[in-house]
Amino acid sequence: MAYTIESLLAMLPGAYSAARIQGVNTVVQMNISGAQAGNWNIFTKDNQLIVAKGIHPAPEITVSADSADILAVAEGKLDPMKAFMLGKLKVKGDMTEALKLVQLFMKK
């Protein structure tokens, strides 16, 4: 399936497991460069996940990547851990929280 950054982020609120989001309260700043550049916030609080455009003044985690790499991960063409190890996906902040957030979207 061909995604855009906008469509991918719009799908996030419906893609997580509500049972696994319990107790996860954080703000992630997504800074995306490249052909589909933009800034978004992903909030997890009170068992909800909300995506909003813009720059948050105090995120706990900041993720920076090129839109082509984000889309390659979403389409299964690039392993997220490999993207991180190659520096294509940069994460600043609490890595433990970042890993918890990744688990929210994993299929079990």
What secondary structure does DSSP assign to 13-77, as a single string?
HHHS-HHHHTT--EEEEEEEESTT-EEEEEEEETTEEEEEES--SS-SEEEEEEHHHHHHHHTTS
Give the phi and the psi of residue 39 in degrees, each rounded to 5.
-125, 135
CATH code of residue 35: 3.30.1050.10
What does the pLDDT look like over 25-54, one tens digit per residue? 889 999 999 999 999 999 888 778 889 999
Q: For the chain, what is the domain count?
A: 1
Tokens of residue 68, six digits: 């082509």
With H, G, I as helix, E, B as strand and everything else as coil, classify residue 97. helix
pLDDT for the residue numbered 58: 94
Q: Domain span at residue 57?
A: 5-104
**Beta-bridge partners for 51:** 42
Blockwise average pLDDT, block size 10, the chain, 108 residues: 86 76 84 97 86 95 94 88 91 81 57
pLDDT for the residue numbered 108: 43
